[in-house]
Amino acid sequence: MTAPADRPVDWPKVRLHVVTGKGGTGKSTVAAALALALASSGRNVLLCEVEGRQGIARMFDVDPLPYEERRIAKGAPDEDGRAGQVHALHIDPESALLEYLAMYYKLGRAGKALDRFGAIDFATTVAPGVRDVLLTGKVYEAVQRPRRSDRRSEAITYDAVVLDAPPTGRICQFLGVNSELAGLAKVGPIKSQADKVMELLRSPRTAVHLVTILEEMPVQETSDGIAELRAAGLPVGGIVVNLVRPQALSPAALAQVREEAVDPTTVTSDLSRARVDVDAALVESLLAEAREHAVRRHLEDEQRELVAAEGLPTYELPRIAGGIDQGALLELAQLLRNQGMA
């Protein structure tokens, strides 16, 4: 299953992988699998979430994550069996603001006092653009963190950061391109923070990947998302096609089933010869199921062509029976590695 050791990967220069896509298509799952895939050969990876949902903790079956980097898993091992580490971070705007104040104004305890007076509302409700800058600012800090030559620092440095980002409909706004920073934030430290974050986001060190499933609406949203990202000058990465149906039947067999060209009596006698005891009703319902599968596969193939027409590196992941746990995530990570995404 493993690819050759010297196989090229598609994103060698990328330090920040942003994962977006239509809601519910598997952004969080793909972000986690990508983090595991990148955490190979001893590499350190940080997986971040910003929407307050604790999806990472659920997937990895650990306690809710605090605003603190936690080691949560070993990555997918490379050809020599060497894995890396995945850390996770749950970024909320309040904690990010307090940290920001402490860092930039050396307010320390005064910053915490702000919380009591409700000044935190500034970050969460009054100025949504500022809220996003605080979230992406923390991601920026993790990506830019200096290597550990400075011995005083306990902070871990990362080879890559993966961001489980908001859905396609909000991604450009979240990444700060369309948002006019409000009032106070137009000048001063928040503005210069926003500028630095923007510089990273628009650089070749960032890739925004899109997750989709092979249905009309998500594929349309993917293509709209790509156009919007491009217009905003953000680097579009690859497309991850998730929840793909099994590909066991040949195109000819699928066409035959779809066109109802399969004769039930032949099926019944074939099965009887194989000593499978069936009656006509069972064969009918088996054929109906096969037809349904064939029709859906046909629709999927149409959507797959539209995805291919985008001309981007594309990766496919199957639906994992039994749902997503850490074992399933490692399986998906290995599939991403085999396809060259990491």
Ligand X SMILES: Nc1ncnc2c1ncn2[C@@H]1O[C@H](COP(=O)(O)OP(=O)(O)OP(=O)(O)O)[C@@H](O)[C@H]1O
Binding site for ligand X (CB under 6 A): 21, 23-29, 55, 167, 242-243, 317, 319-320, 323-324
Shortest spacing between CB 89 and Mg ion, in angstroms: 15
Q: Which is nearer to ligand X, 16 or 332 (CB)?
A: 332
Considering beta carbons, is residue 162 or 190 the nearer one to Mg ion? 162
d(CA 201, CA 31): 17
Candidate list 25, 28, 242, 303; residue touching Mg ion; CB under 5 A? 28
HSE-CB for 183 with a 13 A CA cutoff: 7
Of 50-58, 154-162, 165-173, 282-290, the window that binds Mg ion (rule: CB under 5 A) is: 50-58
Does residue 25 belong to the site contacting Mg ion (CB under 5 A)?
no
In Å, what is the CA distance from 329 to each residue of 35, 57, 59, 76, 317?
Answer: 10, 13, 8, 9, 11
Residue 323, contacted partner among ligand X, Mg ion, none, CB below 5-8 A by kind? ligand X
* Residue matched to tokens 């009656």: 279
User: What residue 243 binds from Mg ion, ligand X, none (CB within 5 to 8 A, per partner kind)?
Assistant: ligand X
In the bound state with Mg ion, the residue whose beta carbon lies nearer, of 97 and 241, is 241
Q: Which of residues 58 and 82 has its CB atom nearest to ligand X in the complex?
A: 58
Q: Which does 91 bind (CB under 5 to 8 A by kind): ligand X, Mg ion, none?
A: none
Task: Give the C-alpha separation, 53 to 32, whole Å.
Answer: 14
Tell me how far, at minimum, the Cβ of 164 lies from Mg ion, in Å. Answer: 6
Closest distance between ligand X and the C-beta of residue 323, in Å? 5
- CA–CA dist 131, 3 (Å, integer): 42
Cβ closer to ligand X: 12 or 323? 323
106 burial level (CB within 10 Å; 0-12, 13-18, 19+): exposed
Considering the complex, state which of residue 28 and residue 40 has its C-beta at the smaller distance from Mg ion: 28
Ramachandran class of 224: left when φ > 0, alpha when ψ lies in -120 to 50, beta otherwise: alpha
Partnered with residue 83 across adjacent β-strands are 40
Name the minimum Å distance from CB 55 to Mg ion.
Answer: 5
Q: Which of Mg ion, ligand X, none sits in contact with 26, Cβ below 5 to 8 A by type?
A: ligand X
Closest distance of CB 57 from Mg ion, Å: 12
Contact 100, 93 (CB under 8 A): no
Is residue 176 classed exposed, middle or buried when 0-12, 13-18 and 19+ CB atoms within 10 A define those classes? buried
Which of ligand X, Mg ion, none is residue 294 near (CB under 5 to 8 Å by kind)? none
Best CA proximity match to 20, nearest among 137, 168, 129: 168
Binding stretches for Mg ion (CB under 5 A): 27-28, 55
